[in-house]
Structure 1
Amino acid sequence: MKDIRHLPRHRRRGPGRLASLLLTLLVMLGLSGGTALAAPDGAGEASRSTVTVPASAMDAVAAMQPSWNLGNTLDAIPNEDSWGNGQTTKATFEKVAAEGYRSVRIPVTWSAHQSATAPYTIDATYMARVKQLVDWALDSGLYVVLNVHHDSWQWVEKITSDHDNVMARFNSTWSQISTTFRDAPRTLVFEGINEPRFAGATDAQKFQYLRELQTSFHSLVRASGGANANRLLSLTTPDGSPDQAFMDDLYTTITSLNDDQLVAQVHFYSWYPFSVNIAGGTHYDATAQKHLDDTFANMHKTFVARGIPLYVGEYGLLEYPNHFHPSRVERGEALKYYEHVGYAARKYGITTALWDPFSYLNRETLQWRDPALFAWIKSSWTTRSGTASFDKVFVPKSNPVTAKSLTLNLNGTSFRGVWQGKTKLNAGRDYTVSGNQLTFTTKALTRLVGDRAYGVNSTLQARFTSGLPWNIDIVTNDVPVLSNATGTTSSFTIPTEYRGNDLATMHATYADGTNAGPTDWTPYQEFNKAFSPDYPNGTIILTPEFLNSLRDGEPATLVFHFYSGATVTYHVTKSGTSVTGTAS
């Protein structure tokens, strides 16, 4: 997975020079395989955690649930701190273990620290640093998955045009990794290649190249001796995709190797339109839910039900959370997704690893950036939580207050009631429940909106017999007001009075009905890529990518959709580098 690279730089100090030299010497002498080294930041001598790994691969992978990714770190290019996560310390792994994670995936990109020609030697200092992090994680009582990561698109994909050299480099890479870690405990898992891709290849060719790579990986590791003789090895599909044809081919590869210590791996980032908010994917709706249910059922049927453990080495949403831009995915809809993943993992016996490039755990403070979001993720490991059709009730200011309803999603729980803080609302007077319809009365909403200032006036909690409560904001709103504007293709914003609304999506077409914008297969353009709300400054930004894609001199009709259900039409015309916007 490639993620945001323009992240704030951390300034945590790295290992001391003497410690680095010591690590390098130990690796070169082959003496660093079985003993944890002293942490260079003064953490002291660590004692290797004694985690008993079940003999059965299925049981071992089950013991790895839940899992977490140290993303955008050792996989960053060219160096560990290049993508903003600073220098990892042992405290990172101790924090993750203390929060209930039982395994960590450590993605590693080797290319910047390896000679590009034979014998493709990996820099000893870098290998020592990788080993240091692996040892810290193992010492924290975690299983560890170690891989070859962004090398997949940096040089492995060139196998279609440079087969022999790519195979030689791949084999050399794994030979060196296997030698370094041959005596590491079986809590260390090897993953051959992350999201493999093959330039210009058909699916059939992808299967052929990947089978060659993974078969060679398997043979090299097994022949390297030590604990590698029965170490768990993870094999994946092209791009890590859970498409059925790809999983079927992986099943064929695994069974052909006749090795009961193999693990299947795929990645899961939800229904694409929802994951990035494109093509109208503004809600975790029935289509997105069915996509998850069907995918996890197929994972189980293809692998788990046939005795092969499955590790979802990355899961999340492709553009959520993002702490540097407005969120593409509405918060409550994102919570529904994470809750559903946790349930599906338990239902189908699948181990899942949260992809964390930076967005969840602050690597500097070792605190969760959004504790409430993490609470939902953590709760999903053991139980279901009830939700509702949305996490807001909109009460238009321009109209008299009337009763409003939400649909409850019980998810196997029972509804207990509604609270405002520590006060329980009165059933019958403040709200009613009929079937799965929760309706707030006119009297209650009149009290809850107060002076009817635009925005969130109060927050309630729907509580259930298990899991976490569902927050419901009571929001005063009116239809947003957009104003005329002028600008250029490099800088254009629409003055916007949001009036208590949040922007959901933008529909863009020409007069002839064809789609306007860089994404030509749908009129609903991609959030933050074609347009973006700027709530503090009261504007909607149309991006240069969107504006430069417009036909010259031909007006495009934009319809902005808001989560309240309000829509506003706007017209924009590009003429050369000049842009004019007109409100309807």
Structure 2
Amino acid sequence: MKRGLMIASALALCTAGCGGGASGTAAAAPVPAPTPAPAPSPSPTPTPTPIASYTPAAAAIPTAGIALPLGKCVNMGNHLEAPNEGDWGRAIAEDDFTIIKAAGFTSIRLPVRFSGHAAMAAPFTIDAAFMTRVRHVVDLATAAGLNVIIDMHNYDELMAAPDANAVRFAGLWKQIAATFAAAPATVWFELINEPNTNLTNAKLPAIIAPALAEIRATNPTRPVIIGGEGWSGIGSLATLPMPADPNVVPTFHYYDPFAFTHQGATWVTPTPPLGRVFGGAADIAEIDRNLQTVRDYIARTGRVPFVGEYGANDVAGVPVSERINYYGTITAAYASVGVQSCAWAYTNTFRLRDGDHWIPGMLAAIHTTTTLR
């Protein structure tokens, strides 16, 4: 568990937006708790330390495989990866993607709980109405001019028992791939969100190879994204297995420092207390170490990863200014080494948008690389 913190929902719900830190161990999932506990009393707030400055650079160029032209990206968090759309906040609206595009975003990541809407027996048929809804959402996003990552999210059973679910996993991807075979080249597939528990890096090749083969049967060159063990923490890059496929792209997630990003998160046990500020010397030193990890990965493998999730809790008691500092610093830091990132999340959790307006200052804080490729 992440720094000694038990994540109640990781095993019980495997809810949205799990993240990993420098150690690659588990982080928590930003989703409303089933029975919300009272928010903890704020601790005394220390005087904030000035935030370090990072300068975005051109996108890193891979020497092996491809890099995605992600640009500014936002996760559609707690929408289609909930047990049912609307369970964890409002449903996706018809105009959401024109709003997102107008705000300067280039891409969206769409977490989807396909496994919760499919038969358990072969051929593991995905509910037709649910697949139609996913396709409609993807069509809305592409029509708005956005790149779309279709991400298989919250497949709890696969994490607990990878071997027992491998055939079903491949069967689900066979259907998803066929459904989107004629989609624009700006639609990308992410095999599985945040491998954890028993789905380790050592286990990944045997589990993902059949699923990738099913995708390639109908989508021979479509980009496919793979993240590693321990909730795809940055430490997972050390042993992340990559198939011999030039159109596979690595990803990792970033929620460090956890005591800041998940303060007041009632789905974490014990709940990290409010009052943690961001930007002290230890925080910046941690970022710098992690940037070196990414540089080393690019130099060693020739592949360019992207940050598929990052963010900070928007619970009452966390000043918006602190969240702005975090989103700005993290995005600029990774952009300074040519790596792009995707914020968690749009409007339901770790929000960038509140009701009918963007939270003031949040959009301006988010950086990306100075080029897309």
User: TM over 0.5: same fold?
Assistant: yes
**Identity score, percent:** 28
Q: Higher relative contact order at CA 8 Å, sep ≥6: structure 1 or structure 2?
A: 2
**In structure 1, what residue type is equivalent to 2:160?**
K
- The alpha carbon displacement at 1:364 in A equals 5.1
**In structure 2, what residue type is equivalent to 1:347?**
S
**In structure 2, what residue type is equivalent to 1:217?**
A
Please say if 1:91 is aligned against 2:95. Answer: yes
Instruction: Report the counterpart of residue 259 of structure 1 in structure 2.
Output: 245
Map of 1:531-570 to 2, 5 A cutoff?
A: none
Please say if 1:157 is aligned against 2:159. Answer: yes
The answer to whether the 8 A contact 2:192-2:227 is kept is: yes
Q: Distance in 2 between matches of 1:265 and 1:214?
A: 15
**In structure 2, what residue type is equivalent to 1:80?**
E
Q: Distance in 2 between matches of 1:210 and 1:350?
A: 24
Map of 1:135-146 to 2, 5 A cutoff?
A: 135-146=139-150
Match of 2:224 among 233, 256, 266: 233
Range that drifts further, 127-136 or 288-297: 288-297
Please say if 1:296 is aligned against 2:291. Answer: yes
- The alpha carbon displacement at 1:92 in A equals 0.6
The answer to whether the 8 A contact 2:72-2:107 is kept is: yes
Please say if 1:321 is aligned against 2:309. Answer: no
Instruction: Report the counterpart of residue 343 of structure 2 in structure 1.
Output: 354
Q: Distance in 2 between matches of 1:348 and 1:374?
A: 21
- The alpha carbon displacement at 1:170 in A equals 0.4
SS of the aligned residue for 1:258 comes to: coil
Summarize deviations over 1:141-167 as a string: whole Å, max 9, x none.
11110011011x2x112325xx23x11
Instruction: Report the counterpart of residue 286 of structure 1 in structure 2.
Output: 281
Please say if 1:249 is aligned against 2:239. Answer: yes
Instruction: Report the counterpart of residue 118 of structure 1 in structure 2.
Output: 122
Summarize deviations over 1:161-201 as a string: whole Å, max 9, x none.
xx23x112101110110111111121111000001123xx4
The answer to whether the 8 A contact 1:57-1:232 is kept is: no
Instruction: Report the counterpart of residue 44 of structure 2 in structure 1.
Output: none
Summarize deviations over 1:301-331 as a string: whole Å, max 9, x none.
21367431212110112xx222xx322xx44
Summarize deviations over 1:58-98 as a string: whole Å, max 9, x none.
7751x211111011001111x11111122x23311111111
Please say if 1:206 is aligned against 2:200. Answer: yes
Q: Distance in 2 between matches of 1:67 and 1:134?
A: 15
Summarize deviations over 1:471-508 as a string: whole Å, max 9, x none.
xxxxxxxxxxxxxxxxxxxxxxxxxxxxxxxxxxxxxx
**In structure 2, what residue type is equivalent to 1:157?**
M
The answer to whether the 8 A contact 1:264-1:303 is kept is: no
For these two proteins, the number of residue pairs brought into alignment is 306
Structure 2: any 5+ residue segments left out of the alignment? 1-16, 18-28, 35-60, 264-271
Instruction: Report the counterpart of residue 184 of structure 1 in structure 2.
Output: 183
SS of the aligned residue for 1:264 comes to: strand
Match of 2:329 among 329, 340, 347: 340
The answer to whether the 8 A contact 1:75-1:108 is kept is: yes
Match of 1:309 among 295, 304, 308: 304
Taking only aligned residues, the RMSD between alpha carbons, in angstroms, comes to 2.7
- The alpha carbon displacement at 1:104 in A equals 0.4
- The alpha carbon displacement at 1:118 in A equals 2.5
Instruction: Report the counterpart of residue 81 of structure 1 in structure 2.
Output: 86
Q: Distance in 2 between matches of 1:290 and 1:83?
A: 35
**In structure 2, what residue type is equivalent to 1:307?**
G
**In structure 1, what residue type is equivalent to 2:30?**
D
Which structure has greater strand proportion? Answer: 1
SS of the aligned residue for 2:201 comes to: helix
SS of the aligned residue for 2:307 comes to: strand
Please say if 1:65 is aligned against 2:68. Answer: no
Q: Distance in 2 between matches of 1:283 and 1:361?
A: 18
Q: Distance in 2 between matches of 1:332 and 1:129?
A: 36
Residues 110, 143 of structure 1: alpha-carbon distance in 2 compared, 3 angstrom cutoff: same
Highest Rg: 1 or 2?
Answer: 1
